[in-house]
Amino acid sequence: MSKTVKRIWNGFTFILVGAAVILALLLAGARLIGLQVFTVLSGSMEPTYQIGALIYVKNVDPMELRSGDVITFLLDEDTVATHRIVEVVPDKIDASVVRFCTKGDANEAEDGSLVPCQNIIGTPVFTIPKLGYVANYIQNPPGVYVAISAGAFLFLLAFLPDLFSSKGKGEKNKKGRSEEKGSPKHEG
């Protein structure tokens, strides 16, 4: 493989592997710094959060939340929502316990039930449009298989030039040794 082709090949694989690493950090690495990642599946918060966006959510003390803050919370065991707080409602018996009246920015009506503070996951800190489509795809078959195949392909791309150059070097070494054995050295 010529040096120019090898440089182009190395640059190409570097860009692909770099993109894969960045994608992995955006999808899974955020957890290392304490963020949870969710995909926006409905338009209830448009235009703030578009369908298909990834939102990164950090933990928050529910007692610090105010009207106008956006929160991500559990609606039930299987459903997570992100809506804006319309009103903080203190408990009638215990003022240290609060609930939150919420509403999606694109919704006309407030949500049907109050959100208890123990259901608060956190508050979104930033979002990446459209990346949620990729995240959802690679979390379910056949996307899992595509992601694994892409990883194997990138691995091969990274080492393919070395495989070809090792083969070439091995042949050169064999020729070089055979020539040395057959020809006497003369030092003068």
Interval 80-97 mean pLDDT: 91
DSSP letter at 119? G
As a whole number of angstroms, the distance between CA 184 and CA 16 comes to: 50
Query: Active site residue: 42, 67, 165, 178, which one?
Result: 42
Cβ atoms 130, 49 nearer than 8 A = no
Which tens digits make up the pLDDT trace of 30-64?
A: 888 889 999 999 999 999 999 999 999 999 999 99
Q: Which of 66, 76, 71 has the alpha carbon at shortest distance from 48?
A: 71
pTM score, whole prediction: 0.71
Within 13 Å and on the Cβ side, how many CA atoms surround 138? Answer: 15
Length of the chain, please?
188
Q: Which of 74, 60, 70, 65 has the alpha carbon at shortest distance from 116?
A: 74
Q: In terms of CATH, what superfamily is 3-152?
A: Umud Fragment, subunit A (2.10.109.10)
Cβ atoms 54, 37 nearer than 8 A = yes
Which tens digits make up the pLDDT trace of 108-153?
A: 999 999 999 999 999 999 999 998 998 888 888 898 888 888 888 8
Q: Residue 159: what pLDDT?
A: 74
Which tens digits make up the pLDDT trace of 10-34?
A: 788 788 888 888 888 877 778 888 8
Interval 154-163 mean pLDDT: 73
The domains of the chain are located at 3-152
42 labelled catalytic: yes
